[in-house]
């Protein structure tokens, strides 16, 4: 047992393991970059960099086999290796200060990626000039929304994530007497007019004349799945029929239960904010006499909590940071009247910057200590009694250079 523990400890602290992890991460970066052509940026990053294992789909079957460690596994092993190596070679002397700082920077860099992968959210805020909005929406994820529109002053919104629709048979809407039974869910679909004589799955709403066919999931960054679901709203023993909901359907669908009107819709997943943003002006400037873009900027007004009111100009590399979120310029449309902001929330956004500073500082400290040690050796060699021979001068120079390595 002792021998086995020693072998494991030797492996964890091995320099070969460090090099192996770094090499694996380089291979993953190249593979991830190439895979973006078919999977898109988000899909490639999820498959190669934020997974524990990289899986290969066997052609002609539904089987997948792991073929390479994922970025999460390689990063975790690298962090354990760096910590174990430092603990084994523990030396708190000043001459090792640079090495300690470099290791701390590398560990923090990998830890920052874990924080980003687990907690970062990317959403979009889409509004037109003069429009005020208090929510952001996901460019990739969808939700089934049940909206109580009875009160003309405000709506009560209940959102069901698509991942829950894929595995649940029934979803109770807390705060309402409604339960939604999920008859069938399609991650991506194509909708057609129902052929004559074919029975419809939907018995209520616009879906009674629609045929749904399953389609492969979308992988590119500029497209979103057309999810579809057949759902049956129920209240106690009463059924309101089977409805087709899809983000490809533009027609509103609603039913009434005990005097309350409920709207059913499939839409991009929303996150409501405790403040509101108004787009006051969007600028799309070009160089005179050309169509070459010169500047994109969005002037927004923020109405925050506690009576906070202020304007902010968002342009290239100058986001609005508020309440832990960063609002970046992303896109535009509708004759320069519509502005799209990328909204990023990442609690670990400072970690890569701190890591780079630590690694740079560690290198400077390490080389400064090595240089000082080398110069001291060279001075001692010159101060030694007796004539300085060519061989002695060469040994002194080698000693000085040796202090730099």
* 156 and 175 Cβ atoms separated by less than 8 Å: yes
Give helix 71-88 / helix 15-44 axis angle, nearest 10°: 150
pLDDT at site 399: 54
328-357 per-position pLDDT tens digit? 999 999 888 999 999 999 998 899 999 999
Question: What's the pLDDT at 404?
Answer: 41
Task: Please state, rounded to an integer, the average pLDDT across all residues of the chain.
Answer: 89
Tell me how many degrees the CA angle 26-23-119 measures, rounded to the nearest 5: 55
Cα 85 vs. chain centroid, distance in angstroms?
Answer: 31
| Tokens encoding 265 | 């819709």
Tell me which of 70 and 293 has the higher pLDDT: 70
Q: What's the pLDDT at 394?
A: 61
The residue with greater pLDDT, 388 or 140, is: 140
pLDDT at 7 (0 to 100): 87
**Confidence bin at 314 (pLDDT 50/70/90):** very high
Calculate what percentage of the chain has a pLDDT beyond 90: 62
- pLDDT higher than 50, residue 15: yes
Question: Length of the chain, please?
Answer: 405
User: Looking at residues 140-164, what average pLDDT do you find?
Assistant: 93
pLDDT of res. 217: 87
Band the pLDDT of 42: cuts 50, 70, 90.
confident
Model pLDDT, residue 397 = 57
**pLDDT band at residue 32 under the 50/70/90 scheme:** very high
User: Domain residues of the chain, as ranges?
Assistant: 2-90, 139-271, 351-402
pLDDT of residue 253: 94
Write the Ramachandran bin of 368: left for phi over 0, alpha for psi from -120 to 50, otherwise beta: alpha
pLDDT of residue 158: 94
Determine the Cα–Cα distance for residues 63 and 77; give it in Å rounded to an integer: 27
Global pTM value: 0.76
Q: What is the pLDDT of residue 160?
A: 94
pLDDT at 393 (0 to 100): 56
Q: Where are the alpha helices (DSSP H) in 13-145?
A: 15-44, 71-88, 97-119
Task: Give pLDDT, residue 403.
Answer: 45
* Average confidence (pLDDT) over 148-159: 93
Question: What are φ and ψ of residue 121, in 5° steps?
Answer: -125, 140
């Amino acid at each position: 047992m002792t021998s086995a523990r020693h072998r494991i400890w030797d492996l964890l602290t091995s320099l070969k393991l460090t090099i192996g992890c770094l090499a694996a991460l380089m291979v993953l970066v190249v593979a991830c970059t190439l895979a973006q052509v078919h999977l898109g940026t988000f899909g490639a990053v999820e498959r190669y960099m934020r997974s524990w294992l990289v899986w290969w789909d066997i052609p002609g079957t539904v089987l997948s086999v792991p073929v390479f460690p994922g970025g999460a596994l390689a990063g975790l092993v690298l962090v354990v290796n760096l910590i174990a190596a430092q603990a084994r070679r523990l030396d708190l002397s000043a001459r090792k200060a640079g090495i300690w700082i470099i290791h701390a920077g590398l560990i923090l860099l990998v830890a920052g990626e874990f924080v980003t992968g687990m907690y970062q959210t990317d959403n979009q805020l889409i509004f037109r000039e003069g429009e005020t909005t208090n929510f952001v929406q996901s460019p990739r994820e969808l939700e089934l929304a049940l909206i109580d529109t009875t009160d003309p002053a405000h709506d009560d919104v209940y959102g069901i994530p698509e991942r829950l629709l894929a595995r649940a048979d029934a979803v109770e809407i807390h705060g309402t007497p409604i339960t939604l039974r999920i008859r069938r869910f399609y991650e991506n679909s194509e909708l057609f007019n129902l052929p004559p004589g074919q029975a419809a799955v939907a018995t209520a709403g616009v879906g009674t004349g629609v045929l749904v066919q399953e389609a492969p999931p979308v992988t590119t960054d500029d497209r979103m799945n057309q999810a579809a679901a057949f759902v049956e709203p129920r209240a106690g023993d009463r059924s309101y029929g089977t409805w087709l909901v899809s983000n490809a359907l533009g027609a509103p669908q609603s039913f009434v239960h005990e005097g309350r009107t409920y709207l059913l819709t499939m839409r991009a997943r929303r996150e409501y904010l405790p403040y509101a943003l108004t787009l006051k002006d969007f600028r799309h400037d070009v160089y005179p006499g050309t169509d070459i873009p010169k500047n994109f900027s969005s002037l927004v007004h923020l109405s925050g909590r506690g009576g906070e009111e202020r304007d902010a100009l968002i342009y290239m590399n100058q986001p609005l940071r508020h309440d832990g979120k960063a609002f970046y310029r992303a896109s535009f449309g509708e004759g320069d009247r519509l502005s799209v902001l990328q909204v990023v929330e990442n609690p670990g956004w400072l970690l890569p910057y701190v890591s780079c500073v630590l690694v740079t500082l560690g290198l400077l400290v390490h080389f400064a200590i090595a240089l000082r040690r080398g110069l001291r050796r060279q001075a001692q060699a010159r101060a030694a009694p007796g004539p300085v021979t060519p061989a002695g001068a060469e040994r002194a120079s080698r000693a000085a250079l040796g202090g730099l390595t």
